[in-house]
């Protein structure tokens, strides 16, 4: 796959940058993505879907560019409510809440948003470089993925439960099982049997991720914060210096950024995965490699960096199978495939040969979208941070409305609103009881996929488990999952031991005095 001479490439890229209407549409696309990403219930997929009819009359590069910018902005925008309100705007931003919100509570919300924006930008930039220089190679590896590989990848993803379980692995497991069992509801993907639906038609398609996510994250957060006790940070005179990470800070976090971007890009290049899985895996790896793993979940910027670099790294990664093989990696790229076909372009190896100008144009628009996304967040920071100065009573009421409308908006189905409210009330009790929410979402995302791929693998191998160790990629993921589980449990036990020792000495001080 060749694109032409260097001067030709520069000329094609330059023609995109010089075209003011194209740049304006890309700016609008990025802004729209950020708005969609930051509103719980509205996703990048929905934004791109809405853009398709609007871009009929545009030329292909402008149209695809606008959609791509919306995609990049949509994924990054999810971090804004995740940091400020502890409500992820998109499923990909769940991990960002874990350290983003504690930072905001400590009065470092601007810094947390800065890290989120810059890590998102750097993650997209990295995946953009891979898209340009390594797409052919990566696509050839990812096309080898069959059921056993997918199954073990999902297992690897589920192995992260230990890292996101907080104080109790048992509670983490129960939460994860809640998510996993919810994902079983609906039609069995292998035999087509209707499972666990109580004869309700609305449950045939299963529980949608978005209402469940709103239930698990938004409603408990609104209920816990509605009395105004959780908002304590003071945000006045925010300057760019509060937001933009310094070069020294960026250099210090170079390995976290690169590692998470690699994870995001690779996961993104594997069809049917997504930013959520990438963010969880990157967070887990960063925590495991950190010298201070106990600080994660309490406002460690590394947590935000790893999650955001990974989930935005998926943007470029997901474009690899789409552009090189014509295979959409997720729902957004599936929309994008539709957009490309609508403009008379057939993604695949021939696209590079027949329309190199369009390919270079698409590459350029990703870069421009990334720049717009970071700039919009830089200059919009004062506006975003003002969310916190809205009186809690009005903010809570409006968040309830937005959350329920967001649940409804996905399928125009009132049943999703009921799901969000019911899971929200369960989530409220769970947060009060110190059950972590992240494993529940992880289970919901990966549980069903794991089951499907596991059973499909057994069908292929005629019920022999050997299929998992005769496929090298599957075996590698399996070993990695086992190592992660063991490491996670060991680290958790150590941290529990430290916490127990500290508690004991405190008890000795307080209660011991009495005995003396």
Partner 1 sequence: MEKKTTRVYELIGIGILGGYALFMLIYAYITKPDMKVAGMGSYTFPISAYAVMTALCVALLVRNLMMAAKAKKMEAALSVKEKEALPEEEKALFTFEKTDKRVWITIAMIIGYMLAWKLVGFSLATLVFIFFEAKILNKESKWLICAIVALGAVVVIYLLFVEVFSIALYDPLMSLLF
Q: Which residues bind partner 1 (CB under 8 A)?
A: 42, 46, 50, 170-171, 173-174, 177-178, 180-181, 184, 188, 190-191, 193, 195-196, 198, 219, 222-224, 226-228, 391-394, 396-398, 400-402, 404-405, 408-409, 412, 414, 417-418, 421, 424-426, 428-430, 432-435, 447, 451, 454-455, 458-459, 462-463, 503, 506-507, 510-511, 514
Q: Closest separation between CB of residue 467 and partner 1, Å?
A: 12
- Three-class SS of 388-421: HHCCHHHHHHHHHHHHHHHHHHHHCCHHHHHHHH
Provide CB contacts within 8 A for 365, sequence distance 6+. 16, 26, 61, 64, 65, 68, 69
> 127 or 407, CB closer to partner 1?
407
> 18 or 229, CB closer to partner 1?
229
For residues 89 and 72, what is the distance between their CA atoms, to the nearest angstrom?
Answer: 14
Q: Which of 70, 66, 51, 60 is nearest to 12 (CA)?
A: 60
> 181 or 331, CB closer to partner 1?
181
For residues 342 and 180, what is the distance between their CA atoms, to the nearest angstrom?
Answer: 37
Q: Closest separation between CB of residue 512 and partner 1, Å?
A: 12
For residues 446 and 271, what is the distance between their CA atoms, to the nearest angstrom?
Answer: 14
Q: Closest separation between CB of residue 187 and partner 1, Å?
A: 9
124, 74 contact by CB (below 8 A): no
DSSP annotation of 344 reads T
> 180 or 368, CB closer to partner 1?
180
176, 161 contact by CB (below 8 A): yes
Q: Closest separation between CB of residue 112 and partner 1, Å?
A: 26
For 35, counting Cβ atoms within 10 Å of its Cβ (0-12 exposed, 13-18 middle, 19+ buried), the class is middle
> 286 or 403, CB closer to partner 1?
403
Q: Which two tokens stand for residue 443?
A: 């289970």
Q: If you search the block for the tokens 């696209």, which residue do you land on?
A: 351
> 6 or 511, CB closer to partner 1?
511
Buried b (16+ CB within 10 A) or exposed e, 406-428: bbbbbeebebbbebbbebbebbb
Q: If you search the block for the tokens 């690779």, which residue do you land on?
A: 266
> 187 or 473, CB closer to partner 1?
187
Provide CB contacts within 8 A for 6, sequence distance 6+. none
> 429 or 483, CB closer to partner 1?
429
> 53 or 344, CB closer to partner 1?
53
Q: Closest separation between CB of residue 509 and partner 1, Å?
A: 9
Q: Closest separation between CB of residue 394 and partner 1, Å?
A: 5
Q: Closest separation between CB of residue 183 and partner 1, Å?
A: 10
- Tell me, rounded to whole angstroms, the distance of Cα 366 from its chain centroid: 18
For residues 377 and 375, what is the distance between their CA atoms, to the nearest angstrom?
Answer: 5
> 251 or 414, CB closer to partner 1?
414
> 172 or 317, CB closer to partner 1?
172
For residues 151 and 147, what is the distance between their CA atoms, to the nearest angstrom?
Answer: 6
Q: Closest separation between CB of residue 402 and partner 1, Å?
A: 7
For residues 355 and 350, what is the distance between their CA atoms, to the nearest angstrom?
Answer: 8
Q: Closest separation between CB of residue 243 and partner 1, Å?
A: 27
For residues 77 and 373, what is the distance between their CA atoms, to the nearest angstrom?
Answer: 9
Q: Which of 263, 211, 257 is nearest to 404 (CA)?
A: 211
DSSP string, 182-222: HHH-EE-TTT--EES-TT-GGGTT---HHHHHIIIIIHHHH
At 116, give phi and psi (nearest 5°): -65, -45
């Amino acid at each position: 796959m060749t694109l032409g001479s260097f001067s030709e490439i520069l000329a094609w890229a330059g023609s995109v940058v010089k075209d003011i209407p194209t740049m304006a549409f890309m700016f609008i696309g990025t802004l729209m993505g950020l708005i969609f990403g930051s509103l719980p219930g509205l996703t990048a997929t929905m934004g791109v879907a809405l853009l398709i009819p609007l871009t009929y009359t545009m030329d292909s590069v402008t149209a695809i560019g606008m959609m791509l910018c919306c995609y990049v902005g949509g994924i990054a925008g999810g971090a804004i409510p995740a940091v400020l309100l502890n409500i992820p705007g998109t499923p990909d931003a769940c991990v960002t809440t874990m350290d983003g919100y504690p930072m905001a509570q400590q009065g470092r919300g601007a810094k947390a948003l800065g890290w989120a924006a810059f890590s998102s930008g750097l993650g997209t930039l990295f995946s953009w470089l891979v898209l340009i220089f390594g797409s052919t190679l990566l696509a050839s590896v990812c096309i080898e993925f069959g059921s056993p590989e997918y199954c073990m990848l999902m297992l690897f993803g589920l192995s992260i439960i230990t890292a996101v379980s907080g104080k109790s692995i048992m509670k983490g497991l129960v939460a994860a099982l809640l998510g996993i069992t919810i994902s079983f509801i609906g039609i069995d993907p292998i035999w087509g049997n209707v499972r666990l639906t109580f004869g309700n038609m609305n449950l045939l398609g299963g529980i949608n991720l978005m209402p469940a996510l709103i239930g698990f994250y938004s409603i408990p957060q609104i209920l816990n914060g509605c009395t105004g006790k959780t908002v304590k940070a003071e945000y006045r005179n925010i300057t760019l210096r509060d937001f933009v990470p310094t070069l020294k800070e960026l250099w210090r976090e170079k390995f976290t950024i690169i590692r998470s971007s690699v994870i995001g890009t690779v996961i993104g290049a594997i069809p049917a995965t997504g930013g959520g899985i990438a963010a969880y895996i990157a967070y887990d790896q960063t925590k495991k490699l950190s010298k201070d793993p106990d600080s994660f979940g309490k406002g460690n910027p590394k947590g935000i960096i790893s999650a955001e670099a990974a989930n935005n790294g998926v943007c470029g990664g997901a474009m690899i199978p789409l552009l090189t093989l014509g295979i959409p990696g997720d729902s957004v790229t599936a929309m994008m495939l539709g957009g490309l076909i609508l403009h008379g372009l057939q993604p695949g190896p021939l696209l590079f040969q027949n329309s190199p100008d369009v390919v270079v144009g698409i590459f350029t628009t990703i870069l421009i979208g990334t720049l717009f996304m970071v700039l919009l967040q830089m200059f919009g920071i004062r506006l975003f941070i003002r969310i916190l100065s809205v009186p809690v009573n009005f903010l809570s009421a409006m968040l309830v409305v937005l959350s329920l409308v967001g649940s409804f908006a996905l399928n125009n189905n009132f049943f999703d609103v009921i799901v969000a409210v019911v899971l929200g009330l369960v989530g409220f009790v769970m947060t009060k009881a110190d059950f972590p929410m992240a494993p529940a979402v992880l289970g919901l995302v990966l549980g069903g996929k794991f089951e499907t791929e596991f059973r499909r693998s057994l069908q292929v191998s005629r019920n022999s488990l050997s299929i998992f160790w005769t496929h090298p990629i599957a075996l590698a993921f399996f070993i990695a999952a086992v190592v992660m589980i063991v490491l996670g449990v060991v680290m958790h036990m150590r941290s529990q031991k430290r916490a127990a020792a500290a508690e004991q000495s405190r008890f000795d001080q307080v209660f011991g005095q009495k005995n003396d």
